[in-house]
Each structure stands twice: as structure tokens, then as C-alpha cells.
Structure 1
């Protein structure tokens, strides 16, 4: 068994939820995942995470969205230090010059006006131009489809972070 997972399996529920929270940002997700322990292996962890995430309500999804900084920024409405470090790493390829930062900031502002939340994208490996293209394309979504797309992007981010977390020790 993965040593990080083995150690996490024996923590009390509150400590386990607090430790896993940076992988997603939703307290309900973290508490539910911690309550499902013991979890046998990485595949079971990823599967449980997906099942929990998809069963959560919109307010729980919003809490996870709020744990991310806007693309090109370093702060978030609510985030752990670990979550902010991971966000910075995930956006590293999208590090941009000042003109691109301004373009992304304006696009983020328009997105937030339209949908009432920050733009969520699994940014790992994507350039700022790719991210901007995705954002512009998603501006054509209706509110319900965009919420589902944001939730799917968060699911992908969570999967990447869970794998990173398992490799952390």
C-alpha cells in the first residue's frame, strides 16, 4: 500500500479531512472521503473521489471553485497554503507577460460577470493562449452547461492533486 495512503487511513476523521482538503477545496468532499476510509489503493481513492464529487451539490462545488486563484493570480477567496502552491505549479506553463496578464484578467472579468464565479480550468500543461481560447469558447455555454464543465475541470484538477498528494512522502 502507498505509505501516504496507509498513514492517512489511520488518522482520525477530522485530521484526515483537513489533510486531504487541499486536493479539492470542498469541505463536504474532504469529510465524505475521510469517512469512507480505509481506502485500499490509488485506484479506489480516485474512484471514491469521483463518486463523491459528482454527488455533491452546487454550493459544495462553489466552495471548491473558491479555493482556486484566478488564472494568472496568486490568491483565492478561500484556499489552503498547499492548494495555492499546487495552483501555482499547475499554472506554471501559463506564466505570462504583462500584456497576456491583462488579456486574461479582462477575460476572467467577463467570465465572472456572465457566470458569477471564477473561471475553472485544468491548467496543467496549458499555455496562456490555450487557456484564453478555452475561456473564450466556454463563454458560449449556457449557465447549466458551464457549471457542469467547471465541475468537470475541478474533478480533473482533484485527480491530479490526489496523485501528487500520494507521491508527497
Structure 2
């Protein structure tokens, strides 16, 4: 866990220096947590660009092969892409990478683990239409994903492949709460941490907490292949991936919707309040949930990369014929 070792995980000298100062780390969770805080809060844009420049251009096959042969951290990260690429796809990748770098001024960066060459090419074409500030944020997010994969490999080697570390290697580190399936590396519970997203419900018609309301949290996931996981998915763009769910208590507060952490994966989130049963039970003596005007309320909000270290409290103010929200503290 030297500065040189961390530089192999991320090409930013500031990042590597800060990680070395904070190390050694007793677990992968602690290392990933520190890497996220440093990357988003300590490393500036010039450091991001320095890290981007350390990557080979996807599509420059010879450069990739040379780098993979000599650097253990890179080996396998783009293996699926290389094995699935045909000559036409490789030439398209090289051509689009040149276009991308000409437009944005840095190489196209994507966490290629498990992605085919056609998936990478499709992502490259889609992201080419973005604004420069959006692509800078996208690239920074992809770099953090790659960094976490390499940290897992680094600590696996340092720990002589201990089971605790090896178990992390199959995770996709960028998504909250298990690859958004239920537990992100580096976001394990700690006494001084709380879930990055919290909520409560206030019944403004009664001036009382809204208790017993089912609440669910989802993260918007861009499609890399056809098909979504939910019936309401827009399959041409992406789908909402479940993160967590709970029920409001007697104070109207929801239980944890995600794992406690100091870091929140940037992206679009949706909190759904399933209000039908509550409104039917509390207002007007209704027993038929079908007669409720608002059977559920949805709040969609976006977390920017620069806000990844912030806390988001998103309450719901509810009445039988109206609801509103705000960002609380």
C-alpha cells in the first residue's frame, strides 16, 4: 500500500499521495471509502485529467495489449471487449475515440469490465453528444469505478487473497447498495455514518407524522443492452433499479433505504411513497384504496458528482388532494 501502488489504481499523483498518507487500510471497505472521499473532495480537475491520461485509448489494440501484458492492475479489465471485437468494430472504436478526444480533450473512459466491444462502442457514440461538463463528470465517475476494482485487486494481493477481500472482486463497485442490488464496497455500516438518502412523511392535513407508509428508493440505470428489469422501464434509455425499501415509523420517518456511507453514487434517484393504504385508513374512513386520489407519490431528484459527499433528506408533505417536497437537512 505504497504511493506507487495506489498510483497503479488511479493515475492521479494527488490521489495516490493522499491514499498513502491515510493507509494502510485494514479492509477493502475502508480503502474504498477513503478513495471516494479523496477523489471527489481532494483531487481537482487537473488531477482528474492526469488520471484520465494514464489510460490507453480503447480501440488502440496494440497499446492495450502492451499495457495489459505489463501492468497487473489493468489485466482483464477490458478482456471481454478485446475477445468480442471484430476488425470492423475495432476500427470504429479507434475512429470514435479520436473524435471523442478531439471534442473533449481527454480520452474516452469507461469501466469496461464485462462489457463487449459493441456495448462500449454504443456507449461511446451516445456520450459523444454530451456537453463537455457532463462528459467530465461521466469520466470522473467511470474512473472511480475502475479505481475501486483495482483497489480490490491490490488488497487481494496484499492480503494473500484473503476470503474477505476476494468476496469483493465480483461486485460492481460504482453502484450504491450492492451494485444497487444491495451493498456497495466501502459503504459498510459504521457508528458515525448514516444512509446518504433519508426521508420522512408529514400529514399536513392533520399536522401529524404519516406512519405506516411503504417507501422505496430506486436508481436510474442507463441501458447498456436491450431490455429493462421493470415493467415501467423505458428500454431505449434505461430502467429504475431497486436500492432499498422501508416503512415510516410513528414519527413518520423511514427506516434505512440504503447502506450507511459518507459517499453517494451520483445519478438520478426516485423515492416512491405508497400512500394509498395510508390515505384510505386515515382520511375519510375510506376502506377502498381505489377511491384515493393519490395512490402513490414519486419524487425524482439528481445527485451531481460534486455532491457525492453530501447528505440528501427528501421529505414528503402529504394531504388527501396535494403533496409537496423539499430538500431538508
Query: Fold match, TM over 0.5?
Result: yes
In 1, Cα distance between equivalents of 2:104 and 2:46: 14
SS of equivalent to 2:56? coil
SS of equivalent to 2:73? helix
Q: How many residues align?
A: 151
Contact 1:122 1:156 in 2 (8 A): yes
Contact 2:59 2:91 in 1 (8 A): no
Greater shift in the superposed pair: 23-32 or 33-42: 33-42
Moved over 2 A (4+): 37-40, 72-76, 79-82, 85-88
The answer as to 2:45 corresponding to 1:58 is yes
Contact 1:68 1:75 in 2 (8 A): no
Q: Name the one with the larger strand percent.
A: 2
Greater shift in the superposed pair: 30-39 or 141-150: 30-39
RMSD: 1.8
Deviation of 1:164 (Å): 1.1
In 2, Cα distance between equivalents of 1:72 and 1:89: 15
Q: What are the superposed Cα offsets for residues 55-104 of structure 1, whole Å, 9 maximum, x if unpaired? A: 2111101111111101133438xx8942xx43341111111222111110
Query: TM-score when scaled to structure 1?
Result: 0.83
Greater shift in the superposed pair: 90-99 or 110-119: 90-99
Contact 2:5 2:154 in 1 (8 A): no
Q: What are the superposed Cα offsets for residues 24-65 of structure 1, whole Å, 9 maximum, x if unpaired? A: 111110000111124332111000001101121111011111
Larger Rg: 2
Structure 1 unmatched ranges of 5 or more: 1-7, 9-15
In 1, Cα distance between equivalents of 2:88 and 2:20: 43
The answer as to 2:10 corresponding to 1:24 is yes
Structure possessing the higher relative contact order (Cα contacts under 8 Å, 6 or more residues apart): 1
